[in-house]
Amino acid sequence: MTIVPGIALRTLSNQRQLIFRLAAVLLVPFLAVVAGLLTAKVQPEIVVVAAAAPIGILIAYQFNDRFEYGIVGIVAAAGLVNFFALPTGTESRIVISMVLSIALLARWFVPMILVDKHIQIKPSPINRPLLLFAAANIASYLWGNAFRDPLLVSWRSFPIVQIASLIVNILLPMLVLLVYNKLNEGKWLKWLTWLMLGMGALYLVAYFFAPFLLNYILSNGSSGLFPLWVMVLALSLALYDEKLPLWLRGLLLILVLGFFYRTFFLGRLWLSGWIPALGACTVVTFLRSKKLFAVMMLVGLLYLGLNL
């Protein structure tokens, strides 16, 4: 008697699989035609994202609460996925790393608000300053629009730019909270560190030997404080991590020197590219070895003396 229900269940499961396969076979051509028609009327980027959204949802469902993969994905997308961005109807475009950040934060906050009915984050000294910073941005946005000079005329897309800037300013501190609350294993910090160093090495190779690649990868992600993070991480590992083989520590030092050459000697006007990085590397060197710090200062003084 127990065999028959089992056979019936297997038969029902096979029938469902057959139905799903037939539906997929029939739907794929239909969806392809719909996508083609939409592409003629809607910007192709939006069609691509709409088509990829179900796949993204399935991937998110598969990993469920593994926020670590999403955090690593944000860093990778910020550096490598510069060739694709969503249009906004203005000259600005929404980068994929921002889309992933919003999705990941929504996945974290929405269940706490709708299901748990309260927001629960780990106690930390950084919580209050970050939340106050986000609140100050919201208050500034509301205040600036409520009491704006009536004689001030803004362009049509200015409200969109304001809201986008507000979202970015809120996303950044919220991502810090997300990382602090969800990265509970040291291996993920290692992944993020080596991912940054790998993108730094890729940037230098592309810059010196294949500049055309920078039109597709690392064009946006390598600006700002990217040299700071790469140089500090590489120098810290080279000076402090004695478990690393000497050849790898040497390559890390070459990476630091390569970025310093790129930002200081070839792009001296890019002040945010070399001043913060040089200052941070000076602190790292001072904390590691006073003698090495003295040598570094001596080299700097000699350079200034010969070039002033």
Q: Are 255 and 237 in contact (CB under 8 A)?
A: no
pLDDT in tens, 53-107: 555 555 555 455 688 998 999 999 888 887 777 766 666 777 888 888 988 998 8
Note the pTM of the prediction, 2 decimals: 0.76
Domain total in the chain: 1
Domain residues for the domain of 257 are: 185-308
Domain annotation covers residue 107: no
Q: Is 128 exposed, middle or buried (0-12, 13-18, 19+ CB in 10 A)?
A: exposed
Nearest Cα residue to 128 out of 79, 176, 85, 162: 176
Domain annotation covers residue 44: no
- DSSP strand E in 61-148: where? 85-87, 93-95
Domain annotation covers residue 29: no
Domain annotation covers residue 229: yes
Domain annotation covers residue 156: no
pLDDT in tens, 254-291: 999 999 999 999 988 888 889 999 999 999 999 999 99
Q: Are 237 and 244 in contact (CB under 8 A)?
A: yes
Domain annotation covers residue 282: yes
Most confident of 80-84, 103-107, 116-120, 248-252: 248-252
Domain annotation covers residue 129: no
Tell me the C-alpha distance between 164 and 170, whole Å. 10
Domain annotation covers residue 131: no
